[in-house]
Amino acid sequence: MTPEEQAYLAGLDTDPLTMLRENLKMLKLRELRIMQRIQRAREAEALAGQPTGEQDSEGNQRRHPALMVRGGTQTRVNTTQNSGTTVTTSSESYAEHIAGWEKGLSDVQDQIRRTLDSIARIEADQGGGEQGIEVILNMGGLGGGKCLEKSTAN
C-alpha cells in the first residue's frame, strides 16, 4: 500500500453506527441534488415551445426546446470515397426525463429508509432504543425548511 492509502485507512472510523450516519448524510445530499434536478427539468418543461427572445440566422424567433437531447454522435468520412456524414442523436421528452429522475429519487429514498432501519436496530441492540434516534430528514430540500423526526426502535 502507498503511504496515502495507509494514512487513509488509519483515519477511518469503522464503527458501524458512525458509518451508517455518514452514509445517511451522503444519501440525503444525493436526494437533495436529485430533487433539484427534477425541479429544473419541470421548469424547463414549462418553458418548452415558448420564445426565447432571440432570433436565428434567418430571422426566425428561437423557442425553448421541447425535447432533451441525451447524446449524439457524428461521423465524418472523406467524401472522395463516396462516403457521407452520419449524424445520430437520441432525445427524450421532459416527462421521460423527469420519470427517470423520479425513479432514481425513489431508489435513494429506499436506501435512506433501509439505513434508518439499520441505525434504529443497532441503537436498540446497544440499549439506546428507548431514547430513539433523531435524524434530519430534510436538509433544506426544495422548500428550504428543516424537519426533524424522532423514530423509536420498539
Domain ranges of the chain: 14-49+63-126
Q: What pLDDT band is residue 142 in, cutting at 50, 70 and 90? A: very low
pLDDT of 16 strictly over 60? yes
Give the SS3 label for residue 86.
strand
**Most distant CA pair in the chain, distance:** 80
Q: What is the dihedral of CA 102, 104, 108, 109, to 10 degrees?
A: 20
CATH class of the domain comprising 14-49+63-126:
mainly alpha
pLDDT average, residue stretch 78-104: 77
The Cα–Cα gap between 32 and 28 comes to: 6
Q: Which tens digits make up the pLDDT trace of 20-47?
A: 999 999 999 999 999 999 999 999 888 8
Burial of 126 (0-12, 13-18, 19+ CB in 10 A): exposed
The Cα–Cα gap between 20 and 30 comes to: 15
**Is this structure's pTM higher than 0.75?**
no
Q: What is the dihedral of CA 100, 104, 109, 115, to 10 degrees?
A: 170
Identify which has the larger pLDDT, 44 or 76.
Answer: 44
All cell numbers assigned to 98 = 423527469
